[in-house]
A and B are shown apart, each in its own frame.
Chain A
Amino acid sequence: MTDQDFLDGNAAAGMLSEVFAADVTTAVGCCGNCGDESVVARGRVYLDEHGLVVRCSVCGDVLAVASERAGRLCLDLRGLAWLEFAVE
């Protein structure tokens, strides 16, 4: 994997739609490491056959990991201080 092997946070929309009723890519997340606040779509997404990793576009720290195996989706959100969604 090289530095150029990432996608935008938009690329996480499909997998995360499995578990969130709202679109996560337009939610604002706060990086637990550097405190940057931006929409998930601006994060950097790294994909592999098991799932995806979302990294902060500012400091590069891991914000979220989603992996799918044997019909189970596991979500690790430790890197996010919070996530804020638009609600009706």
Chain B
Amino acid sequence: MSSVWRVADVVATRMETPTARTIRLRIPGLHGHLAGQHVDIRLTAPDGYQAVRSYSIASGGGRGAIEPHDLPDDELELTVEELADGEVSPYLVRDLADGDQLEVRGPVGGWFVWRDGDTTPVQLIAGGSGVVPLMSMARAHAAAASPAPFRMLYSLRSPASGYYSDELSALAADTASPLQLDYVYTRQAPEGAPAPARLTAEGLMRRTIPASDSPTFFICGSTPFVEAVSGWLVDAGHEAARIRTERYGGIGGTP
């Protein structure tokens, strides 16, 4: 067995929506992580069959969703969306219990990350469960009281499918280091909000930092979502070099 796999303990869990669960892990030897990184999780069946999946880290800057909010250096939180036909996510969302153990590789990835010394304006764009690594960045931004302008556009099906709703509202109201927050509802909108509709190029431009401010973009969502959004941004004059993307999906299917 390779030495990069470690055994993590499940410390606590919390449902974010009826199909998404935040899992706090303690990983012996872990010394923090960068905002936006992911970990791989490996499950082994009794017959030896193994399945590996990547999950984005949701905690950032030592702060997570589950009480207590302050995380020690050897803990982190993931949020996992259950895929109906998934091999790994139904177990993580439905069956995993406090005190269970999981094999973990990482945190890994040094590209789709935000570092708290960076004061460049940042535009986060989330499609559905793609909000997870972007929440890690928003938390790290708040924890560092960063002066970098931060804006998040969160495209989701309905209010009930939103992750971290209360905390996002609190981050938006933070006076020291505010997060400018815009929601786009694609299937069902809350009362008083505009009718639900898919994100368009024009709607994207109205809710994102303009090219004149030279923002860095972090976009996470399904492959078609990421393709459409990054294409519109380039068309609008944003530099491709400032656009960083993370598509989710792969062998587990697309949420």
Binding site for B on A (CB under 8 A): 4-11, 13-15, 17-18, 23, 25-26, 39, 41, 47-49, 71
Contact = CB atoms under 8 A, between A and B. Distances in A.
Given A4-B227, A10-B246, A25-B110, 8 more contacts: A7-B223, A9-B111, A10-B109, A10-B111, A13-B110, A25-B109, A41-B111, A49-B251
Interface in B28-56: 38-40, 52, 54
A63 B244 CA distance: 20
Nearest to B40: A14
Contacts of B110: 13, 23, 25-26
Contact of A11 (B224, B227, B250): B250
B224 A14 contact: no
A37 to B, nearest CB: 12
Contacts of B105: 14, 17-18
Contact of A47 (B1, B39, B112, B250): B250
21 contacts: A6-B247, A7-B250, A8-B245, A9-B111, A11-B247, A11-B250, A13-B109, A14-B38, A14-B40, A14-B105, A14-B108, A17-B106, A18-B2, A18-B4, A23-B108, A23-B110, A23-B111, A41-B109, A41-B111, A47-B250, A48-B251
Interface string B183-206: 000000000000000000000000
Given A13-B109, A25-B109, A25-B110, A7 B247 contact: yes
B249 interface: yes
Nearest to B36: A10
Contacts of B38: 10, 13-14
A11 B245 contact: no
A4 B250 contact: no
A25 B111 contact: yes
Contact of B223 (A6, A10, A23, A41): A6
Contacts of B40: 14-15
